[in-house]
Structure 1
Amino acid sequence: MLGVVAAALGGPEVLQVTELPEPAAKPGQVVVRIRAVCVHPADVAATTGKIPGGPVAPPFSPGWDIAGEVASAGPDTTDFEVGDRVVGMIPWYLTRGAPGGYAEFVAADTDWLVRLPDELDFVSAATVPLNAQTAHQGLSLVSSAGGGMLVTGASGGVGGFATQLAVRSGFRVLAQATDDDEQWVRGLGAHEVVSRSADLATVGPVAAVFDAVPLGEVAAAAVEDGGVVVVTRPTPAIDPARGVRQELQLIRHDRALLADLVGQVAAGRLRTRVAATMPLTEAAGAHRRVSAGGLRGKIVLTVG
């Protein structure tokens, strides 16, 4: 089978399309025929070695979020049958690229996967697991529902889901949008949209900040003393005299939560968007586009 591996640490040029052994399903696993795999900034970070826990020794395969069909099932595996449509998240923070999702087939633990409703296509589904779970889990760290919340990066994957979920949780959401992307962010339900160039110190104070970019101190300037800031990567500590609680949200795979979120996207209650699709063999080009920024949605690699 074809797969994409990082042959060294570095930029997109380290990604190589290569022939890999086709995996076999062990007990508790299925082999998924990949139809779509999302390209995340986390994948770019992995290839450059800038990830929590330190760099992974090459070669390894990037890729967290996959969607496809069950091609075979391991012994005593009853959760899925051959032909079932599935979507899931490879817990890359555990697998460290063995496996990763950039391949034609992946042997996946059944706990990583949920059924994919017929109403949702493979490409859109592949944008959901990492982003939506991160947003939901990050919001669970904030207890002051009903107050104001600033969401940075609301044009992006995590920020877009955080905006929608925060509105539904009762927050009054101020969402920061990429320039000329305000209409999309308003469509997510944000009560107020602020531009990327806005001085965030002037938009608050708010009870909480979901810093999905993250911007660090720039975003923390909007939170009231005694408030809470949730960040998606480590950022400098906030002045302790302000009494601000600073929470680091790192993904924890939750199968039941993923099933619920995928169902909400399939039913149209949560929105996601795709900037472009590219063949798996063009993974290096996809990484270049993600690194360049400015995307309106996710890049998804397609297979077959």
Structure 2
Amino acid sequence: MLRVAELPEPEAGPGQVLVRTRAVCVHPADVAATTGMIPGGPVPPPFLPGWDIAGEVAAVGPGTTEFRVGDRVVGMIPWYLTRGAPGGYAEFVAADAGWLVPLPDELDFVSAATVPLNAQTAHQGLALISPVGRLLVTGASGSVGGFVTQLAVRAGYHVLAQASHDDEEWVRGLGAHEVIPRSADLAPVAAVFDAVPLGEAAAAAVEDGGVVVATRPTPPIIPARGVRQEVQLIHLDRELLADLVGQVASGRLRTRVAATLPLAEAAEAHRRVLAGGLRGKLVLTLS
């Protein structure tokens, strides 16, 4: 039920900057918002979807000293707080300065827009797992799973990464020690980062006393097995975001874009997300 509308141009208030949006990432969470399937319950329309934006500072509000007009920025609108007021699907966003970090010249707007929600979710979720020998990552072909795979390998985990059909080469390039197809039987591991999430199938692969981290609530595991279940819900960490953006800009972390569409084609982008099978993120662009 997305439609294009003309709204008054927002103004930057105290502690804010006005961002001229150049790219905004399309997430499954955006689609979930339009169907009301989000934590906290449905948001009464009208509202603006969109978490991750990249663009340029068009104006600076009173008391804001961190950014100047013309600065390149990338950031995450904490949609779990704003609930669409504001959202990122807009030509201009009045954003709190604390939501944004500088965008290095080495990183383009489109690629940058794929980083904030996905990379922070991966990093924060991985922190819920104590160091273990073998970690299974479901959905390693996806954005969150891809970042988890890279970060876990560098942290010393032995990573088994589950790849979509014909996408094994990409996942192997992320550094996974073992790449397994989605149809494979899952051998017991000490921990699972369930980025799809698969739910029961992923939980069944966890050894007794292990841990499974999912990106949304999944059915409970039999308590007698002693498996710890965690749900990773994003929270904005500006220092972490700046570090992760810098790592992508320097090539230490990889991301990928499936396609770009004009902002006015947001509804088509949502249809493609629902259809599945994307190799990378969809990003809406503005000239």
The TM-score normalised by the length of structure 1 is 0.94
Query: Contact 1:37/1:301 (CA < 8 Å) preserved in 2?
Result: yes
Deviation per CA, 1:111-142: give whole Å up to 9, x if none.
00000000000000000000000000000001
Deviation per CA, 1:259-286: give whole Å up to 9, x if none.
0000000000000000000000000000
Deviation per CA, 1:22-79: give whole Å up to 9, x if none.
0000010000000000000000000010001101000000000000000000011101
Match of 1:21 in 2: 8
Matched, 1:302 2:285: yes
Matched, 1:32 2:46: no
Residue pairs, 1:1-304, within 5 angstroms = 14-145=1-132, 147-200=133-186, 203=187, 205-304=188-287
Q: Which ranges of structure 2 fall in alignment gaps of 5 or more residues?
A: none
- The one-letter amino acid of 2:261's match is M
- The one-letter amino acid of 1:226's match is G
Aligned-residue Cα RMSD (Å) equals 0.5
Deviation, structure 1 residue 197 = 1.3
Give the whole-Å Cα distance in 2 for the aligned partners of 1:89 and 1:293: 24
> SS of the counterpart of 1:266?
helix
> SS of the counterpart of 2:149?
helix
Give the whole-Å Cα distance in 2 for the aligned partners of 1:174 and 1:109: 39
Give the whole-Å Cα distance in 2 for the aligned partners of 1:298 and 1:42: 13
Deviation per CA, 1:134-191: give whole Å up to 9, x if none.
000000001124x100000000010000000010110000000000000000000000
Give the whole-Å Cα distance in 1 for the aligned partners of 2:112 and 2:131: 31
Deviation per CA, 1:99-122: give whole Å up to 9, x if none.
000000000000000000000000
Give the whole-Å Cα distance in 2 for the aligned partners of 1:144 and 1:81: 42
Give the whole-Å Cα distance in 1 for the aligned partners of 2:200 and 2:224: 14
Q: List structure 1 runs of 4+ shifted beyond 2 angstroms.
A: none
Aligned residue pairs total 287
Deviation, structure 1 residue 199 = 2.1
> SS of the counterpart of 1:18?
coil
> SS of the counterpart of 1:15?
coil
Match of 1:8 in 2: none
> SS of the counterpart of 1:185?
helix
> SS of the counterpart of 2:183?
coil
The TM-score normalised by the length of structure 2 is 0.99
